[in-house]
Every structure is written in C-alpha cells, then in structure tokens.
A = this chain, B = another copy of it.
Amino acid sequence: MSEYIEHDKDGVSVGLVEKKYFTFAEPPDDMLLEGNARLGPVTIAYETLGTLNTDRSNVVLILHALSGDSHVAGYYSEDDRKPGWWEIMVGPGKGIDTDKYFVICPNIIGSCMGSTGPSSINPASGEPYGFDFPVVTIGDMVKAQKALLDHLGIKQILSVVGGSIGGMQVLEWAVRYPDMVISAIPLASTTRHSALAIAFNEVARQAIMADPNWSKGKYYDSTKPNLGLALARMVGHVTYLSDEAMRRKFGRRLQNKSDFSFNFDADFQVESYLRYQGQKFVDRFDANSFLYITKAADYFDLRRQHGSGSEAEAFAKAKASFLVISFTSDWLYPTYQSKAMVKAMKKNNLDVSFCEIEADWGHDAFLLPNERLSALIKGFLDRNFNELQKK
C-alpha cells in the first residue's frame, strides 16, 4: 500500500490506542506451518478499538496488507501526528464505526511491526532469524490470528475485512474457520496471484537479494540492504497506481526545473516521487519481511489449498455473507479476478454482494477516501449485525 495519508488531527478519530502483544506456541508446542517447518514462540502484535459488547457479537477483524501493521486507526500519544493506516475508514461514525463495533487489528507473522518475523530473535541461535525464518503462508498468518482470537475469548467474528494481501487473509478466514465468520469483506483482492503479480513480486525480491548488503538475510548487525529494499518498494509503488492515476498525479511535470537536466538526476516528478517513497520505506520496513510476505502472497491460491483446483469447491465450506469490492483501475488485482470469486461463491449459494467501484487511483484506491466505499461497508456491517441480533 502507499504511504499513509496525512490527516487533520482535529478530525473525528478513535483517539489514543495502545499496541498490545500476545505470545503463544512456546516450544516444544511450536506452531506447525504449512511448509511443515515449526515456529515458536509466536508473538502477535495487535490493537483494539471500541468496546466489545456483552454478547461478543460486534467483533470486526481488520487485516492489513504487505507493509501495514496493527495500527489501523487512532494515535499512540497526544503528540503523535500520524494516525493509523485506515483512519479514514475506522473511527466513530465512520465506515467501520468504533462506537458500535469492537475492532481488532493484528500484525501478520512474517512482518516486522511487532509480530514474529525474520527480524525477531531465533531462540535456537539467540540472533535474528534472518533467512532461517521459515516460509509462512497466508494460511499460517490466519492460523496465528485464530490463536489470538482464542486468547481474547472471541468465538464469533461479525466481519473480517481487508484489502489486497489483507483480502487474501479475509478469504482464508472465511474458508478455514467458517463457523466463526458471519461476514467477510475482501477488497481489491484475489483468490490467487496472477503471473503478472508474481512477476512484479519476483522483480522486487530479486532487487533485495541482488543488494550485496542483503548478505543472504544476515544484515541485522551491519549495513542494511537499503538500496535493494528501496528498489523493491519502487516496483511496488508502480503497481499500486494506475496509468490514469499517475497521469493525474504527475503527468510529465518536471521536478523544480524548467528544462531537462540532460543528466541522470530525477527530471520528472514521478521519478522523484518513486525515489522518495523508496528511501522513506527503508526506515520503517525490514527487507527480509518484504521477501517473506510477498512470497506468502505468491503462494496464496485458495483453489489449490482448499478446492482441489476448483474455485467453486474452495468456497464449499464457507458460510459467511460476502461483500466483494474491486476498483476499476486496479491492474494488480483486476475486477475480473473479483468476479471469478463472486461466481464461485454464488455456485455455493452464498450470500454475496459485489461492487466494482469507479476509481482512478489503481490498487491503492481501497486506502483512499471514498464515500461510496465507506457507505457500502457501513451498510453491510449494520445489516449483518442486525440480522445477527435477530437470531
């Protein structure tokens, strides 16, 4: 996803939030991963917003994308200028109304934002895992989230919501734990990475691994592979925007110049933007986490893991109501991929609403202010909450 959007702090916000941690799978009871490796202990960083109601029927589980974290909305302190990554959607009276719903947002395993990942200490060596960290899948991430929900005493989720790789987790939740999930909202997502999406991820990974400072993943005590990670982020940023979005945002406008430099400086604003995004990213993200999370996304294939190759069969066990949302200009996970999942859901007589939102901002559109999107999500949550109360 793109860099977080700057907000007016005086706007409506859930306010102060606290990052919490839950650790489980202590050895010898490590967590068995899909790749048959074992991982433990496993820590999940998470944040909660709003209040759990007495019958625990108002849980909304929000799942983040590649570079996200548990900090979905609100601020860490009075001085904090930067709210969580989905501040526009999550808060009092917003699309996901924290006055009404109890929001839980966990950081995925494999990440570097508090949950166990390659930069965590490997208990076997006393040093960061680095490339000894086992490959984790979207299924493994969801399995770890389930342990967190068990720990919190949550037996039923009103809605699982997430975009992009967060949307993959949404789908995995609905299929893996059908009795827990009342409703699910996968946004700008897919049941399986296309060759194009894999190709972009592979280029980004190769950029990191080609950086001599990557040192096969053992760089935590030395210079970090910042050039490689910045490049990987630049590749990502191109895929998050659309041709139209880039034309509107940058066009061929020059950077502080009236003419070309006739050298290899950043002449165009789009070049300067990409360099800046790349450089900014290295301060907050771990290169190995980028490798592991993109690999998990590439491996994700709902029909392979749950449907013996059939997309319809993959949803055979699902029980949730779905709200599937795609964006017209998203060329990373184009609408036809959302339509394919909707078709598979319908074959299983699931309650599915589908909406393709007209948006020029490419894959990133799900993170940007959009009244229609907020209204859709709000309406869907309220309907599912009201129906649940009637039962």
A residues engaging B (CB < 8 A)?
A: 34-37, 131, 134-135, 192-196, 198-200, 202-203, 205-207, 209-212, 227-228, 230-231, 234-235, 237-238, 241-243, 246-247, 249-252, 260, 262-264, 266-268, 270-271, 274-275, 278, 291, 295, 298-299, 301, 304, 331, 334
Contact = CB atoms under 8 A, between A and B. Distances in A.
B212 A212 contact: yes
B334 A243 contact: yes
B135 A199 contact: no
Contact of A247 (B135, B195, B262, B301): B195
A301 B331 contact: no
A170 to B, nearest CB: 20
- As for how many copies of this chain the complex holds, the number is 2
Contacts of A196: 238, 241-243, 246-247
B134 A199 contact: no
B198 A260 contact: no
Contact of A200 (B35, B238, B251, B295): B238
A207 B194 contact: no
A195 B274 contact: no
B135 A262 contact: yes
Contacts of A230: 206, 210
B262 A291 contact: no
Contacts of A212: 212
Contacts of A278: 206
A358 B202 CA distance: 29
A237 B199 CA distance: 9
